[in-house]
A and B are shown apart, each in its own frame.
Chain A
Amino acid sequence: MRRDRLTFGMIIGIPVVQLMLFGYAINGDPKHLPTAVLLADSSQYGRSMLSALKNSDYFHFVRKLHNEAEAETALARGEVQFIVTIPENFSRSLLRGDKPTILIEADATDPSATGNAIASLRTLLASALQHDLKGPLGFLAGSDGPINLRVHARYNPEGISQYNIVPGLMGVVLTMTMVMITGLAITRERERGTMENLLSMPTRPLEVLLGKIIPYIFVGYIQAGLILTAARFLFHVPMAGSIPLLLLVASVFIAANLAMGITFSTLAKNQLQAVQMTFFFFLPSLLLSGFMFPFRGMPDWAQVIGELLPLTHFLRIIRGILLKGNGFEEVILQLWQIVLFAVVVLTIGVKRYRKTLD
């Protein structure tokens, strides 16, 4: 153990990391969810509604929208979790006793991220106008409230968690297996002695590393195909977007994970260490990417770490394509971050790849 510091580090590191992640980072009841407002009636009553939402802690107003199209884009890109629409003539309808409708659209791709917030809405809005509707207006409060509330759970109206989990699983499985496969690649050559032979041949580091990565992209595709097929026929996950686009993005994501693995491989002294490193990468990927727990429920520091991980972005992409029907424009916003990750990691790998046996 004294001579294998990494193993020792793992023994201490794993519980510490787990404690940090489960103790501080993970939160099943996400609050302060980014919300945008489409305010077509800027009356006193509309503002009362919004401040009531704000006071609930669930909604955090981040921007004002001007039209429906903007709202659609913001939701598709995942920039906001909710859009609150206060319609034109809200005040007038309210005062007439016509029960105006407030529309709340939620990005429900991950039902667990929005569930509690939506559940709190009804009581919230019922009491929102109590302060305003007093005296002569008191009659408006009525027994069933002064307004109608309509909630649109977009992208996953029935709140089926499989729709969220099964596509996400594709990313998780690829992360786990791809990092592991190449993680062993260079260390195995070293342990079997074939590295000496490989190094005595006129090969460049990038050639060797890419040679290890490219064939496994096809292995990754087999897994991706398997999961997509199951998603389609066993779980009936909607596939709103373009599957070819998804497969194209998947190849980038697979390559990024393979690059991560190969870089571990150049850092590890033996296969066991490579496996340990893989585990160390997989754990935060699983917990901080938004796969198991809502991304927006995590504190800022955990979100920053999560943003670095390719799985986080891939989850947004695959959920976006399958459930939201996103196209290339939305995808590219996440994709470049995976590409950047792959390039950085592979550069480290090439630098660390020793051309000699020293």
Chain B
Amino acid sequence: MTDNVVIDVRGMTKRFGALTAVNGIDLQVRQGEVYGFLGPNGSGKTTFIRMLCGLLAADAGEGTCLDFDVIRESESIKRQVGYMTQRFSFYEDLSIIENLDFVARMYGVSNRRAAVHESIERLGLAGRQKQLAGELSGGWKQRLALAACLIHNPRLLLLDEPTAGVDPKARRDFWEQIHELAGQGLTFLISTHYMDEAERCDRLAYLSYGNLLTSGTAAEVIAGAQLTTWLASGPNLQVIARQLRTKPGVGQAVAFGARLHVSGTEALRLEQAIAPFRTEPYSWQQINPGLEDVFIHLMGNSKDNYQA
């Protein structure tokens, strides 16, 4: 283990009754990294994050988080981690400044008043500090939540779908802030559904039904999938998409706006499959698969362990 690894866990497992929500996940995250956590709903992202910060007791697994034992020293981990919940979880009947002050008190932040003031300034909440948290719009709630997570100067931030339900501009501002903080040495583990956000991450992990399917940089993830993708354009793409999906060698045929991405793992059989459709009025070209192609591919190949 090198000393700039912030999260280093192996075999993290969590079961809820018959369901294995997280199944033996290994994960390493280095300091200053923005690590993206992707996967469909119910894939175990939230459960994994909750295990890291001691909100859920792991059924199996070992390792360290911020050099503390991830199973036994969750109280110490909590002090140095900022956790932003998926659902807004601050007190709606307290104002922004009261919420921040409360959080600062809970962490025992020294020089609390200054810390609260600074975080309000930094996040541009100055004009709204007396407003009740319950009255804020989604974007402002998210800013408040981030400000609260940062108030005790954590070394690691665990953000669970922080941008769900936030408008594009706010999302962009948010990510700029993330990268700025990462530049200062903060480490992020962020779960998200958005592909553009996935591309902004230094490294990624893709989960499905509790299993870690792939991880690495975006380029590594794409290369690892060994996917060949063809792009088709023309009229009535839905019709040929339906026909293509039944052909051997075609893993997926997915509409991206007015274009169709047809992908498969066996380049030769894929080319044979699309050959009959390479006629007018359709135009075809081979492209490099994107993250989304890869994720759709991964999702299609994984089995729901609940139905197994």
Contacts and interface: CB of A to CB of B under 8 A. Distances in A.
A200 B107 contact: no
B79 A202 contact: yes
Interface in B96-147: 103, 106-108
Nearest to A194: B89
A200 B55 contact: yes
Contacts of A195: 89
B55 A196 contact: yes
Determine the interface band of chain A, counting residues with CB < 8 A from chain B. 10 to 19
30 contacts: A193-B85, A193-B87, A193-B88, A194-B89, A194-B91, A196-B55, A196-B85, A196-B89, A197-B83, A197-B89, A198-B106, A200-B54, A200-B78, A200-B81, A200-B83, A200-B85, A201-B106, A202-B75, A202-B78, A202-B79, A202-B107, A355-B54, A356-B54, A356-B55, A356-B57, A357-B50, A357-B55, A357-B56, A358-B56, A358-B57
Given A194-B89, A356-B55, 7 more contacts: A192-B89, A193-B88, A194-B91, A196-B89, A199-B55, A355-B54, A356-B56
Contacts, number: 48
B90 interface: yes
Interface of A: 192-203, 355-358
Contacts of B108: 202
Among the interface residues A194, A200, A201, A355, which one has the most CB atoms of the partner chain B within 10 A?
A200
B160 to A, nearest CB: 10
Contacts of A200: 53-55, 78, 81, 83, 85
A202 B108 CA distance: 9
A35 B55 CA distance: 60
Nearest to B79: A202
Contacts of A356: 54-57
Contact of A203 (B83, B87, B106): B106
B92 interface: yes
Nearest to A200: B83
A197 B90 contact: yes
B69 to A, nearest CB: 16
Given A356-B57, A357-B50, A358-B57, A202 B106 contact: yes
A355 B87 CA distance: 19
Nearest to A357: B55
Contacts of B54: 200, 355-356
Q: Which 3 A-B pairs have the closest CB atoms?
A: A197-B89, A200-B83, A201-B106
Contacts of B75: 202
A198 B53 CA distance: 12
B283 to A, nearest CB: 50
A358 B47 CA distance: 10
A203 B152 CA distance: 14
Interface in B59-89: 75, 78-79, 81, 83, 85, 87-89
Contacts of A194: 89-91
Nearest to A199: B55
Nearest to A203: B106
A198 B91 CA distance: 10
A194 B93 CA distance: 12
A358 B79 CA distance: 21
A357 B56 CA distance: 6
A196 B85 CA distance: 7
Nearest to A198: B106
Contacts of B50: 357
